[in-house]
Structure 1
Amino acid sequence: MCSSGEETIHHHRGPPRIHRAQQRVAQARARGRARRADEPRRRVPRERSPRAAHRALPRPAPARHPRDRRAREGHPRRARRSHRGPAQPPPHRADHSAPRSGPPDHPGEGHALAARETARPAHDLALPTPARVKLGTGALVWAGFDGPQAPDPILDAIQRGAIGGILLFAFRGNIRSKAQVRAMLREIQDAARRGGLPPVPVAVDQEGGTVIRIGYRATFPSAMAIGATGDPAYAERAARAVGEGLRADGIAVNHAPVCDVNSDRRNPVIGTRAFGDDAEDVAAFAAAWVRGSEGVGVATTPKHFPGHGHTSQDSHLVRPEANVDRATLESRELVPFRAAFAAGASGAMSAHVRYPALDPKDGATVSRAILTDLLRGELGFTGFAVTDALDMKGITDALGPDQIVTRAIAAGADAAMVTTGLDLQLAAAGWIDAGVGAARVSEALERATVFRERFATPVPVDDIDDTPARRLAAEIAERAVTHVGPRLPPLDSRVRVVTFGSARQSFVEETADPVGGLERALRERFGDRLAFGREGRLPEGDGTLIVCTSNAAFQPAQAARARELLASGGVLCAVRSPYDAALVPNTPVLLSYSDVPPSLEALAAVLAGERRPTGRLPVRL
């Protein structure tokens, strides 16, 4: 899809088209220089090349800390652990750096300051801003890496302005402990400071349930568990608690909430990540989450626009297609996004899903019809649009890396999430320079600059007490447990429990197997009366049978074994997908929607008769 004028992009496969794109960019810049001929000369050149922008910035003196083993004379950017930097901030940063761009350990950095700074109209990134550093095209590229420490090439790219944001994942070894995360982020922000740049924004997906990147903080139940409480106030309180924990570690972007309406029960990637299958309910909970997170200075990116709920395939593996008409999109998929944007969401994340009713050819991430015409034109969103991870099969099967990046930015994204491949991450800014119109790049850079000013922060000195957040997570888990079907039998004699391991349903999940936690929670309550069997094994002896499934609705062998075990009666506990409840008719069922420790404790408490199940079904079975 092409548009006219400077916005035109050719989705090139060879040098001739790249050359023509470069010519158009050069012509646009020449016209801009002509218009500015009579203006005072700017301190920082207008070139968008990260290399050119880096050359224009003042150079700090080499680090000379006696304990800094990495400092090398003449190579200040390799001084990874130096906290000295220049004696005075660069002149063009003076307004911006007070107070947010001080040293990483600046004691004035706190949550109250963050909350004050984020008080603004909903998702408006067009507000007047103070004098700022001119960012290059690299500000539109976000990157990930492997290991507990950012590698030198990533730090160098941050210092040069070739990378503008960082994404962290537990499965890539980025998150091992609180001390390690805080030290890693201090190194990252030191690299930006050495380049005379403001801090870079750092993001995680801290949704709750199966998508929890930081396990050392309070672990909250899934969005569907929160939906089962029936009270959106819990979403706001949970988001506030999650945001405070992230902010304490120097992370101010949370890729949440999931605004997808889980209207297809076969959906393998959304499921309990959604608040439910009713558009209005999802809208209420999503808006509450946005208010809670943004209220403590942590940006939200409602996802996956324009919806990933009505699909039966995982976009990590293939490119799904949502065959729904425009009227259904308006009345279902778009309802939660409208509510989240109205609540003040600063960002939005695209879906690697094709919607023929909106664009007969391209998926949302590279569709101008979706990211510009619909998101900005019809919904009026003025915030920061980001892509989902660009290494997912939902987009890589159709396009090459350079095409993915350039087409996403040209379509309307303000940041390309190049999560893997160092060579791709370092080349991405050049692709954007060569292949995207100057006007579109300028627009994206303006939003990226404002977003970075608001949601990039040094690591605070002081930590927070997680105890209130852990209590809240337990309260939500207790309120979520739902009973469906016949009455529960009394469990005042022997109890036999059969469990199944929590198989990873989607590549986005990275929670540990919960069976051990469930056994401990039950053992504390039933003691010697408990016989426990793993992987579908029936314990010997007699007693009431409890079968605990984990996404059996998606695993035929597990479903068949559960039916076999419960043929003579018992209780079914669906610890993750609520759709397991439909597998065994006329059987009492308890649903927890999540297998994080608070949810398993709450489930055990109900089985032991300590609590009544008060949750309500957020989906139709």
Structure 2
Amino acid sequence: MNPARTLIVDLPGPDLTPEEGLFLARYGFGGVCLFARNISTPERTARLVRDIRDALGRDVLIATDQEGGAVLRRLDSPQPPTPMGLGALRDPAAAFEAGAVAARGLLELGINWNYAPSLDVNVNPENPVIGERSFGANPALVAELGVAWALGSEAAGVLSSVKHFPGHGDTHVDSHLGLPTVDKSRAALEACEWLPFRAAVRAGVGSVMTAHILYPALDPLHPATLSHTVLTGLLRDEWGYSGVVVTDAMDMRAISDRYPRGIGAPLTLMAGADAVLSCGHGDLTPHVEHLVALERALAGETLSEERLHEALERLDAAASRFPGAARPYSSGQKQTDEAQVRAWARGSVTRQGAVPRLSRDAEVLLLAPEQPGIGGPYGDSLGGEALAAALRAHFPHLRHALHGDTDTAAARALLTAYPDATVLLATTTRWELTPAQHELAALIAQRGGLHLALWNPEHARALPLPALVTYGYRSAHLAAVAHALQTGEAPGRSPLAVPEVV
């Protein structure tokens, strides 16, 4: 038994070099996770996947994160909608089909494992890393839509991995940067965070991804990824889950700061995980470190061969159930899926307050950030110039000004020059609102204007303006918000929690 087969590793770039191919073949890893840096043209990425399979010499699991909305790795195929946008639709059939859309774009390249969807319940507006990746704040809605999405993916041929078990929705810390703690009672977790994951277990979803989070009520010493109490006691023994358990990336600082040089790998297998996600972001050394740690644990008998055999059996069964043979994605199916994505985007736009209708010939001022920063799982963002170009296709008389985090000079000058024009303030940031955005919102509130909340829906509730919320910034969302501005149609229902009245 080769312990390397429990390791899912990453690679530096869009091609497999001869040296990297020899590296994979030498160690015999269990699979590869592809990130945005690995995915280029369809032909090139399909060749990369074939080369990986040739190097590893058997059917293996090739994974990525194609969640929809802001977390997308492949951008040149029909883009599944933001989960929270699906929450605004409240349609399980749409969620099922969205999972299938994601799967078709991946399986065309030979990718057979999707680390999606997020079953985290978005109960904390200050959560730095989940937000619109969640289907909403209602655990029953998240369960219904999230499980439908996962089953849609698997029906279309791609293994789904629901995440982040046992729940990342109520955190203040991004586990990429530190170790979050969810200090809730078991009863509170059962009523909220666990409800979607229990539904996924009952539905037989093929894999579950762990959370690098400490839950003191369950295990005061170990984050869930390394907790036997959580992964074996709760998920396996109590809930009866028999699918694959995969870790979130072990380079995330919630784990790597406390368990460096791969020593978390045997600990998570001992806890009950089957696959260890080892990420070096271009550096292959961490993969060897994880393997060395596994070999030492086996030699020292802290990790049993029986536990390793169990993990490998589950991974082999998953690879057999979801073979990696590339499946053609016909042009007709792509056109159907593109039309469906556009329809979902229109249907999810949500109105907050009184929103004016604008004619195509209206004089419109757009104020937007220059280029928002990214972080965590996000690979890209929407810049102000790109947004202005997209909206100008619908409003030819649109003028725009960009602002930084604090510099509002250009925006103020535009407002002064056109005192009678309709003003649109766009927020395209995932993170906290900037001083400039607060300042401009206050100015616009005095003269009348509208907020376009194009990424973080919580921003619509934080600014004193009527708003249109799209739950995303992809091309379908931009076309949908333009349609809503021109027609007044915004049929979405907010899946966010209703603020408490104090």
TM value normalised by structure 1: 0.74
Question: 1:572: which partner in 2?
Answer: 451
2:389 is equivalent to residue 520 of structure 1:
yes
User: Does the CA-based 8 Å contact 1:551-1:580 persist in structure 2?
Assistant: no
Q: Kindly tell me: are residues 566 and 384 of structure 1, through their superposed partners in 2, closer, same or farther at Cα, counting changes over 3 Å? A: same
Query: 1:374 is aligned with what amino acid?
Result: L
Question: 2:380: which partner in 1?
Answer: 511
Query: 1:496 is aligned with what amino acid?
Result: L
> Paired residue for 2:343, among 461, 475, 481?
475
- SS of alignment partner, residue 95 of structure 2: helix
2:165 is equivalent to residue 300 of structure 1:
no
What does residue range 310-389 of structure 1 map to in structure 2 within 5 Å?
310-389=170-249
User: Does the CA-based 8 Å contact 1:202-1:456 persist in structure 2?
Assistant: no
What does residue range 118-517 of structure 1 map to in structure 2 within 5 Å?
136-160=2-26, 162-170=28-36, 173-193=37-57, 198-420=58-280, 421-435=283-297, 436-460=303-327, 462-465=328-331, 466-488=334-356, 490=358, 493-501=362-370, 503-517=372-386
Shift of 1:322: 0.8
2:463 is equivalent to residue 584 of structure 1:
yes
User: Does the CA-based 8 Å contact 2:180-2:213 persist in structure 1?
Assistant: yes
CA deviations over 1:276-296 (Å, ceiling 9, x no partner): 011001001101101100101
CA distance in 1, matches of 2:219, 2:375: 26
User: Does the CA-based 8 Å contact 1:518-1:604 persist in structure 2?
Assistant: no
Tell me which stretches of 4 or more aligned residues in structure 1 moved more than 4 Å: 489-492
Question: 1:107: which partner in 2?
Answer: none
What does residue range 6-85 of structure 1 map to in structure 2 within 5 Å?
48=1
Question: 1:561: which partner in 2?
Answer: 439
Shift of 1:616: 0.5
CA deviations over 1:58-100 (Å, ceiling 9, x no partner): xxxxxxxxxxxxxxxxxxxxxxxxxxxxxxxxxxxxxxxxxxx
Q: Kindly tell me: are residues 551 and 401 of structure 1, through their superposed partners in 2, closer, same or farther at Cα, counting changes over 3 Å? A: same
Q: Kindly tell me: are residues 502 and 323 of structure 1, through their superposed partners in 2, closer, same or farther at Cα, counting changes over 3 Å? A: farther
Q: Kindly tell me: are residues 564 and 412 of structure 1, through their superposed partners in 2, closer, same or farther at Cα, counting changes over 3 Å? A: same
User: Does the CA-based 8 Å contact 2:115-2:162 persist in structure 1?
Assistant: yes
Shift of 1:422: 1.5
Question: 1:602: which partner in 2?
Answer: 480
Rg bigger for which structure?
1
CA distance in 2, matches of 1:248, 1:553: 33
CA distance in 1, matches of 2:164, 2:152: 19
CA distance in 1, matches of 2:441, 2:369: 13
Shift of 1:269: 0.3
Shift of 1:493: 3.4
Higher deviation after alignment, 280-289 or 492-501: 492-501
What does residue range 606-621 of structure 1 map to in structure 2 within 5 Å?
606-609=484-487, 612-620=489-497, 621=499
Shift of 1:553: 6.6
Q: Kindly tell me: are residues 373 and 583 of structure 1, through their superposed partners in 2, closer, same or farther at Cα, counting changes over 3 Å? A: same
Shift of 1:546: 1.1
Shift of 1:366: 0.7
Query: 1:319 is aligned with what amino acid?
Result: L
The sequence identity of aligned pairs, in percent, is 33
2:426 is equivalent to residue 548 of structure 1:
yes
Question: 1:127: which partner in 2?
Answer: none
Structure 1 spans left out of the alignment, 5+ residues: 1-47, 49-135
CA distance in 2, matches of 1:583, 1:213: 30
Shift of 1:155: 2.1
Shift of 1:244: 1.3
Query: 1:617 is aligned with what amino acid?
Result: S
- SS of alignment partner, residue 212 of structure 1: coil
Shift of 1:376: 0.7
Shift of 1:199: 2.0
CA deviations over 1:16-52 (Å, ceiling 9, x no partner): xxxxxxxxxxxxxxxxxxxxxxxxxxxxxxxx2xxxx
Shift of 1:490: 4.9
Question: 2:300: which partner in 1?
Answer: none
Query: 2:128 is aligned with what amino acid?
Result: P
Query: 1:180 is aligned with what amino acid?
Result: R
CA deviations over 1:239-293 (Å, ceiling 9, x no partner): 1111112111101100001000011100010000000011001001101101100
User: Does the CA-based 8 Å contact 2:6-2:312 persist in structure 1?
Assistant: yes
CA deviations over 1:390-409 (Å, ceiling 9, x no partner): 11111111112232111111
- SS of alignment partner, residue 277 of structure 2: strand
Shift of 1:214: 0.5
Query: 1:576 is aligned with what amino acid?
Result: W
- Alignment coverage as a number of residue pairs: 477
Shift of 1:159: 2.7
Q: Kindly tell me: are residues 160 and 449 of structure 1, through their superposed partners in 2, closer, same or farther at Cα, counting changes over 3 Å? A: farther
Shift of 1:427: 4.1
Q: Kindly tell me: are residues 513 and 552 of structure 1, through their superposed partners in 2, closer, same or farther at Cα, counting changes over 3 Å? A: closer
CA distance in 2, matches of 1:501, 1:349: 35
Shift of 1:431: 2.4
User: Does the CA-based 8 Å contact 1:326-1:357 persist in structure 2?
Assistant: yes
- SS of alignment partner, residue 482 of structure 2: helix
- SS of alignment partner, residue 439 of structure 2: helix
Shift of 1:328: 0.8
Shift of 1:138: 1.5
Query: 1:522 is aligned with what amino acid?
Result: L
Shift of 1:497: 1.3
- SS of alignment partner, residue 149 of structure 2: helix
CA distance in 1, matches of 2:371, 2:184: 32
User: Does the CA-based 8 Å contact 2:374-2:381 persist in structure 1?
Assistant: no
CA distance in 2, matches of 1:487, 1:419: 45
User: Does the CA-based 8 Å contact 1:286-1:339 persist in structure 2?
Assistant: no
Shift of 1:567: 2.9
CA distance in 2, matches of 1:517, 1:402: 41
Structure 2 spans left out of the alignment, 5+ residues: 298-302
CA deviations over 1:433-468 (Å, ceiling 9, x no partner): 3311222112111112212222342335x4432212
